[in-house]
């Protein structure tokens, strides 16, 4: 039996690309289980595909799947429906299954309004999907289907769902997906004990947290590492829920000598110095925390259940251990006013995040907020028949206007951007000897963001090069890195100070004599000074680099020595 698992395209272009670059990890878990049970499985990431029809037709004709499973979120449901329609038009016998958070909370909606959807898998999808495939093979009798927990389908034209499937007790029973697939988003846990009003995770996974063993988790990383992956997103809702387990993972990563870096997500009330120490040692370079708002009243409405002091402490400690502390904020919540926005800005100044993402409060099925919305507005799930990705809370609240929301967002972002150099200058790092190189790595990476990375592109951030220079210099006080010498050399070059650039790059080459980017940058500075002989010497030292060849030719031309 041939199964295609598809991550369909979204309605709108995304602001934060890394949110959707990769299919949800669940698709890989399902794919791995099916593969190990003998099915022919392919996963297609069509999130970025845009206009799909030509590709869909070609793919369906070429692959001739028996079953297509879609990973459905609210925002990509239309993409899934449209692909399913094309697939069914080509082959009416193909079975279409919707799974994921969208299908779990809107199963009735899909089965009522879209004939192309044959089944929905609800919640944790691995075993219900496997059982569904077996039932399809055996013949889809009602008796067979009803015996499968965690699915929904139509009978006599009406949508029905079966009993809830029990959560998988031992997550390690699942095959390791990275044996079969390549991806960068990994998760150690399922579930979150939180109960935030805007979040569907607790109802989807349950509030009791289940864990993989450290051995399983690190093995998963190892398979990917061996095939060349060096960077990971640990996408657990709250990775730090059990610090002992996290430390065990970190120790294993170090023991296995995996030279990786990774980002994690946590609640602010779960970190302490010990766990941050081990996380940094094992390659963690960023932790994102849901801060949501500076207003306690709004945090309470969102049921976030965290105190300002806890937020402050988490950000201080995280930065101290050379991990970039990033804050998620939500604005446009009930009761949001200029005053509450100012409270958020005050909190930003207090916690000094080195990264921040600002979202407008959105209402998704499967959340308390959505229940409240349906009750208050008298709307039904039919609202999703509109071609919208989400419902923004402010659109449902007469106290909030679009103008206000735009101005809140602008104010928050400006306040963050304007203060960012001050936050960078205020960094205080642990002075533990073991952290000297890690501190240099952290500061020079951050400097690079200001001088040549994401922050370099943001007009609203003042003094970017000045901040970068300060950070590069500070990083060199801890330990030399080629990144710091190169960054400083490039900034001086950009400023037209070519001689100073050469001095800095020479300093770097004294420590890293084989470093090609340093040689290249130095050669370019020489060229800018009209010193083509010296420049050529730099490029010639770069071995067989194509880039060097181009510059060598240019130098020869300038020196009039072309033969």
In b/e form, how buried is each residue of 433-460, taking b as 16+ CB within 10 angstroms?
Answer: eebeebbbbbbbbbbbbbbbeebeeeee
Instruction: For residue 494, give the DSSP letter.
Output: H
Compute, in degrees rounded to 10, the torsion defined by CA atoms 47, 111, 90, 29: 50
Check if the beta carbon of residue 152 is closer than 8 Å to that of residue 162.
Answer: yes
Q: Does 311 participate in binding ligand SF4 (rule CB under 6 A)?
A: no
Contact stretch for ligand SF4 (CB under 6 A) within 157-165, 198-206, 512-520, 537-545: 198-206
**299 with 198: CB under 8 angstroms?**
no
d(CA 193, CA 106): 23
Q: Which is nearer to ligand SF4, 126 or 237 (CB)?
A: 237
Q: Report the alpha-carbon angle 50-56-60, nearest 5.
A: 160
Task: State in angstroms the smallest separation of the CB of 289 from ligand SF4.
Answer: 10
Using DSSP bridges, classify how beta strands 324-331 and 355-360 pair: parallel, antiparallel or unpaired: parallel
Q: For residue 60, state whether it binds ligand SF4 (rule: CB under 6 A).
A: no
Neighbouring CB atoms inside 10 A of 377's CB total 12
Nearer to ligand SF4, 199 or 391 (CB): 199
CA-CA distance, 381 to 122, in Å (whole number)?
17
Which tokens belong to 1? 């039996």
Stretch that binds ligand SF4, among 63-71, 190-198, 412-420, 497-505 (CB under 6 A): 190-198
In the complex, the smallest distance separating the C-beta of residue 302 from ligand SF4, rounded to whole angstroms, is 8
Q: Pick the closer one to ligand SF4 by CB: 267 or 526.
A: 267
Q: Residue 482 class from Cβ within 10 Å (0-12 exposed, 13-18 middle, 19+ buried)?
A: middle
- State the number of binding residues for ligand SF4 (CB under 6 A): 11
Return the number of other C-beta atoms located less than 10 Å from residue 29's C-beta.
23
The minimum distance between CB 211 and ligand SF4, in angstroms, equals 15
235 or 451, CB closer to ligand SF4? 235
Residue 556 to residue 561: CA distance in whole angstroms: 5
8-state DSSP, 399: T
Helix (H, G, I), strand (E, B), or coil: what is residue 238?
A: coil
Report the residue from 192, 264, 471, 504 that binds ligand SF4 according to the rule CB under 6 A.
Answer: 192
According to the binding rule CB under 6 A, does residue 238 interact with ligand SF4? Answer: yes
Q: Which is nearer to ligand SF4, 235 or 481 (CB)?
A: 235
267 near ligand SF4, judged by CB under 6 A? yes
Considering only CA atoms, which of 563, 535, 562, 533 is closest in space to residue 551?
A: 535
Of 561, 560, 524, 562, the residue nearest 542 (C-alpha) = 524
Q: Nearest Cα to 225, choosing from 178, 174, 263?
A: 178
Our CB check for ligand SF4 shows the closer of 200 and 508 to be 200
Query: Of 196 and 446, which has the nearer Cβ to ligand SF4?
Result: 196
Interface region with ligand SF4, contact rule CB under 6 A, candidates 153-161, 193-201, 255-263, 280-288: 193-201
Q: CB-based contacts of 517: which residues, under 8 Å, 6+ apart?
A: 482, 486
Segment lying near ligand SF4 (by CB under 6 A), choices 5-13, 120-128, 197-205, 314-322: 197-205
| Stretch binding ligand SF4 (CB under 6 A), from 106-114, 194-202, 279-287, 400-408 | 194-202
Angle in degrees, 0-180, between the axes of helices 482-494 and 436-451, rounded to the nearest 10: 30
Range in contact with ligand SF4 (rule: CB under 6 A) among 171-179, 188-196, 495-503, 555-563: 188-196
Least distance between ligand SF4 and beta carbon 350 (Å): 21
The residue from 9, 79, 125, 202 that contacts ligand SF4 (CB under 6 A) is 202
The 10 Å Cβ neighbour count of residue 303 is 14
Using CB under 6 A, which of 165, 178, 201, 340 touches ligand SF4?
A: 201
CB 522 within 8 A of CB 506: yes
Q: Does 322 bind ligand SF4 (CB under 6 A)?
A: no
Which region among 118-126, 196-204, 375-383, 512-520 touches ligand SF4 (by CB under 6 A)?
A: 196-204
Could you say whether residue 111 binds ligand SF4 (CB under 6 A)? Answer: no
Of 42, 484, 470, 25, which is closest to residue 220 (Cα–Cα)?
25
Of 330 and 521, the one with the shorter C-beta distance to ligand SF4 is 330
Q: Which is nearer to ligand SF4, 199 or 471 (CB)?
A: 199
- The residue within the footprint of ligand SF4, chosen from 196, 279, 412, 555 (CB under 6 A), is 196
Residue number, 161 or 243, with CB nearest to ligand SF4: 243
- Tokens 């039932």, located at residue: 135
Site for ligand SF4 contains 290 (CB under 6 A):
yes
Helix (H, G, I), strand (E, B) or coil at 126: helix
Q: How far is the CB of 201 from ligand SF4 (least distance, A)?
A: 4
Q: Which stretch binds ligand SF4 (CB under 6 A): 1-9, 60-68, 104-112, 199-207?
A: 199-207
Q: Identify which of residues 194 and 322 has a Cβ nearer to ligand SF4 in the complex.
A: 194
Nearer to ligand SF4, 202 or 523 (CB): 202
What is the closest distance, in whole angstroms, from the C-beta atom of residue 236 to ligand SF4 in the complex? 9
- Least Cβ distance, residue 208 to ligand SF4 (angstroms): 12
237 lines the binding site for ligand SF4 (CB under 6 A): yes
- Residue 299 or 483: which CB sits closer to ligand SF4? 299
**Residue 199 interacts with ligand SF4 (CB under 6 A)?**
yes
Of the pair 151, 192, the CB lying nearest ligand SF4 is at 192
Phi/psi at 334 (5° precision): -55, 135
194 binds ligand SF4 (CB under 6 A): yes
Question: Phi/psi of residue 84, each to 5°?
Answer: -60, -40
In terms of phi and psi (left: phi > 0; alpha: psi -120 to 50; beta: otherwise), the region of 150 is left
Beta carbon of residue 105, minimum distance to ligand SF4 (angstroms, whole number) = 14
| Residues in touch with ligand SF4 (CB under 6 A) | 192, 194-196, 199, 201-202, 237-238, 267, 290
């Amino acid at each position: 039996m041939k199964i295609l698992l598809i991550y369909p395209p979204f309605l709108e272009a995304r602001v934060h690309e890394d949110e959707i670059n990769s299919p949800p990890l669940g698709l890989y878990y399902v794919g791995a289980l099916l593969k190990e049970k003998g099915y022919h499985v392919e996963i297609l990431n069509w999130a970025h595909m845009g206009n799909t029809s030509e590709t869909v037709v070609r793919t369906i004709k070429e692959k001739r799947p028996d079953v297509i499973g879609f990973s459905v979120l609210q925002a990509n449901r239309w993409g899934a429906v449209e692909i399913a329609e094309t697939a069914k038009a080509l082959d009416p016998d193909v079975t279409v299954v919707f799974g994921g958070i969208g299908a779990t909370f809107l199963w009735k909606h899909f089965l009522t309004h879209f004939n192309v959807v044959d089944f929905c898998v609800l919640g944790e999808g691995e075993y219900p999907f496997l059982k569904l495939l077996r039932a399809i093979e055996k013949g889809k009798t009602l008796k067979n289907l009803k015996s499968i927990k965690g699915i929904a389908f139509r009978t006599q034209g009406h949508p029905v769902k079966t009993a809830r499937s029990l959560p998988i007790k031992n997550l390690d029973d699942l095959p390791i997906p990275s044996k079969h697939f390549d991806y960068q988003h990994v998760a150690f846990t399922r579930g979150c004990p939180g109960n935030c009003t805007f979040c569907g995770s607790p109802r989807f996974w349950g509030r009791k947290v289940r864990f993989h063993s450290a051995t399983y988790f690190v093995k998963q990383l190892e398979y990917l590492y061996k095939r060349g992956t060096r960077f990971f997103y640990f996408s657990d809702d709250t990775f730090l829920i059990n610090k002992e387990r996290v430390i065990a993972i970190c120790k294993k990563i170090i023991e296995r000598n995996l030279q990786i870096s990774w980002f994690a997500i946590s609640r602010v009330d779960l970190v302490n110095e010990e766990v941050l120490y081990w996380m940094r040692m094992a390659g963690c370079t960023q932790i994102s925390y849901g801060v949501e708002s500076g207003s306690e009243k709004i945090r309470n409405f969102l049921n976030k259940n965290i105190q300002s002091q806890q937020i402050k402490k988490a950000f201080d400690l995280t930065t101290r251990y050379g991990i970039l502390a990033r804050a998620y904020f939500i604005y446009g919540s009930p009761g949001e006013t200029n005053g509450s926005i100012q409270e958020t800005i005050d909190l930003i100044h207090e916690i000094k995040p080195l990264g921040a993402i600002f979202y407008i409060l959105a209402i998704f099925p499967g959340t308390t907020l959505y229940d409240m919305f349906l009750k208050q507005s008298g709307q039904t799930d039919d609202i999703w028949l509109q071609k919208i990705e989400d419902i923004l809370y402010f659109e449902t609240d007469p106290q909030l206007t679009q103008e206000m929301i735009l101005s809140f967002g602008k104010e928050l972002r400006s306040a963050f951007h304007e203060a960012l150099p001050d936050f960078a200058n205020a960094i205080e790092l642990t002075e533990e000897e073991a952290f000297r190189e890690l501190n240099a790595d952290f500061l020079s990476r951050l400097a690079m963001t200001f001088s040549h990375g994401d922050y370099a592109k943001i007009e609203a951030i003042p003094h970017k090069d000045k901040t970068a220079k300060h950070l590069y210099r500070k990083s060199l006080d801890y330990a030399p890195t080629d990144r710091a010498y190169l960054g400083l050399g490039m900034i001086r070059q950009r400023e037209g100070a070519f001689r100073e650039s050469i001095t800095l790059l020479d300093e770097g080459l004294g420590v890293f004599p084989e470093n090609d980017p340093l040689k290249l940058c130095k050669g370019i500075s020489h060229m800018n000074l009209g010193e083509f002989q010296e420049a050529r010497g730099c490029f010639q030292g770069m071995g067989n680099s194509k880039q060097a060849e181009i510059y060598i030719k240019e130098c020869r031309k300038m020196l009039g020595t072309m033969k």
